[in-house]
Chains A and B, each alone.
Chain A
Amino acid sequence: MTKAARPSAEPLPPAAANGSTASAAGAGTLLDLSVEDITVCYPNGHEALRDTSFRLEGGTICALVGVNGSGKSTLFRAIMGFVRPASGRVRIAGRSVQSALKANLIAYVPQSEEVDWSFPVSVWDVVLMGRYGYMNFLRIPRARDREIAEESLRRVGMLEFRERQIGELSGGQKKRVFLARALAQRSRVILLDEPFTGVDVQTETAIIGLLRELCAAGHLILVSTHNLGAVPEFCDSVVLVNRTVLAAGPTAEVFTQDNLVRAFGGVLRHFKFDESTVQKHDEKAVTLLTDDERPLVFGKGGHLEYSHRAGKENVIAERAEEEGDR
């Protein structure tokens, strides 16, 4: 399956007509997000996406993968209704994007670079912003809003930092605050933009754990990322984009070498073991380290390995000798 089928004449779910209570609105319906043949052009004439289609259902963690400038963020913007597609449409639980937003169906966790961290707001202020959609026009939080905000902060382990100004937090803590805001919003579709950049390993694990919980509870989670290694760890489906959808479906089917080479072209960095200084004696004792750039490979016994044998004949001979001596 390369392109997901487009639901052309899908009947409107029953709850779609009543937009009164937000949490109830999504609950009874089959939660799905369908991007139907959208083409997005910017006013300066740049065509960011063309004939893009895919469909996702609740209970999924989906990775949106592509190079910079492949239209990942445009796709996010289209799903959140920030850009209007020139053709095609986006439906969320059978509703238009605008109506889904009104019903608080969508939450968004921004990239850290997009946030002004010197802004004079506290952790608590930020999390309450997730509740604005439920408050009256003066946005005065009620007891219920406070309860939910508190619970969300507790869930990401940030309750004790509630009075901190947001700039006074570490990268991982900052990310967790915005995740708490998305939790407080109680939305069934959660979009995360590059959630792992600038985040420590513990926070990454914590975030993945939390996303799995949300997924098990039937939420639909869409993660935009260029951290390829993390994708098979926690995403059960993948949408590969490069100006359009190249492939969409279960991770095992879509996340193949062929597809990734198609999506990334020459951008991907390779480490081919058969061309490298890794030898037979290394067997399975190879450690691969990466910070998302070129991987650093250590063979058996922690020896540094090189990606190409040429010019490293002495290294190969030395190691072979060591192994032979034992």
Chain B
Amino acid sequence: MLLADALLEPFRYPFMVEAMLAGAAIAAVCAVLSCYLVLKGWSLMGDAISHAVLPGLVLAAVFGLPLALGAFLSGLFCAVSAGFIKAHSRIKEDTVLGVVFTGLFAFGLVLFTKLQVDIHLDKVLFGNILGLLPGDLHATLITSAGVLVVVVALRRDLLLFCFDPAQARVIGLRTGLLYYLLLSLLAVTIVVALKAVGILLVVAMLVTPGCVGFLSTARFGKMLCVAVGCAVGSTLLGIYVSFFLNASPAACIVLVQVLVFFAAMGLRKKRGLSPKTRFPALAQILNAK
């Protein structure tokens, strides 16, 4: 009886329940997007956009604009300017992104120290899911639902865009539009997820679930389900555990996800879903030895 009381204790606090609700919503959206990012090879893009939101946050605070708007625009600016530089030079995209996002992040830090705005840097960097403001939960749920609806409705177009952009164009899809749509959805998601896990760890939410899904199955539909399940489960468990450990919920969420990732790697070996079965030619060579 005592044990049960102790285990259920986190659920007695409204801030815990709210954190779990918001966390689950954020995790679900991030997981769905992560499947596309992992397949498209855009893992660094998540990292880049999340860092690049900092100057936007500070400037929005200075001009009294909604912080989310500033963050969104600044994140998008990073992706678009990196794309522009890449198209007009011989440098590879990941290299350009590395230069641009660190530059924007550094610019944000300088702005922050010079402009004396009412933002807590540690909350921006590490998230603050236990301290959601009254409107935050609603905003998070609504935005997450919006992004989810768009992605699910266009999931086949987005998948084709990631898999074979040439085919997407040949059948008349507007790939330019899809590119900016995916970037915008990513930027919106990151802005929402900042509350939960902060700038530094949001990339984990945007990569790990997709990786787990990719390792677990060879079908995209199943990959989406596994990713969402893994992300929501890890987030709930992470927040729950953080209550007892008295540790940062963001760090706990990410740690649980990483554990799930290694478990998926292990399981994959056990089930024989190794590269050998994926590539029969390789198996033949290995078996012959």
Contact = CB atoms under 8 A, between A and B. Distances in A.
Most A CB within 10 A of own CB, among B87, B167, B218, B277: B167
Nearest to B173: A132
A70 to B, nearest CB: 20
A119 B163 contact: yes
A215 interface: no
Contact of B39 (A108, A120, A129): A120
A118 B163 CA distance: 10
Contacts of A81: 169
Interface stretch (B16-24, B152-160, B261-269): B152-160
Contacts of B279: 167-168
Contacts of B28: none
Given A80-B170, A120-B218, A129-B167, A165 B223 contact: no
Interface in B261-289: 277-281
B39 A119 contact: yes
B278 A110 contact: no
A155 interface: no
Interface residues of A, number: 34
A110 B165 CA distance: 11
B277 to A, nearest CB: 8
Given A108-B170, A120-B218, A165 B278 contact: yes
B90 interface: yes
A246 B236 CA distance: 66
Contacts of B166: 80, 82, 108, 110, 114
B89 A110 contact: no
Interface centre among B153, B171, B214 (most CB of A within 10 A): B171
Contacts, number: 86
Given A43-B88, A168-B279, A139 B172 contact: no
A119 to B, nearest CB: 5
A318 B223 CA distance: 67
A54 B222 CA distance: 47
Nearest to A77: B166
B217 A101 contact: no
Interface in B53-96: 87-90
B169 A139 contact: no
B164 A115 contact: yes
A80 B175 CA distance: 13
A275 B7 CA distance: 90
Given A132-B173, A165-B278, A168-B279, A121 B153 contact: no
Interface string B145-185: 00000000110110110111011011111000000000000
Given A121-B219, A132-B157, 17 more contacts: A43-B88, A44-B88, A80-B169, A80-B170, A81-B169, A107-B170, A118-B278, A120-B220, A129-B171, A133-B172, A138-B153, A138-B156, A165-B219, A168-B278, A170-B281, A181-B167, A185-B170
18 contacts: A44-B88, A44-B90, A82-B166, A82-B169, A101-B172, A119-B162, A120-B217, A120-B220, A120-B223, A122-B218, A122-B219, A129-B167, A132-B171, A133-B172, A137-B157, A138-B153, A165-B218, A168-B279
Interface of A: 43-44, 80-82, 101-102, 104, 106-108, 110, 114-116, 118-122, 125, 129-130, 132-133, 137-139, 165, 167-168, 170, 181, 185
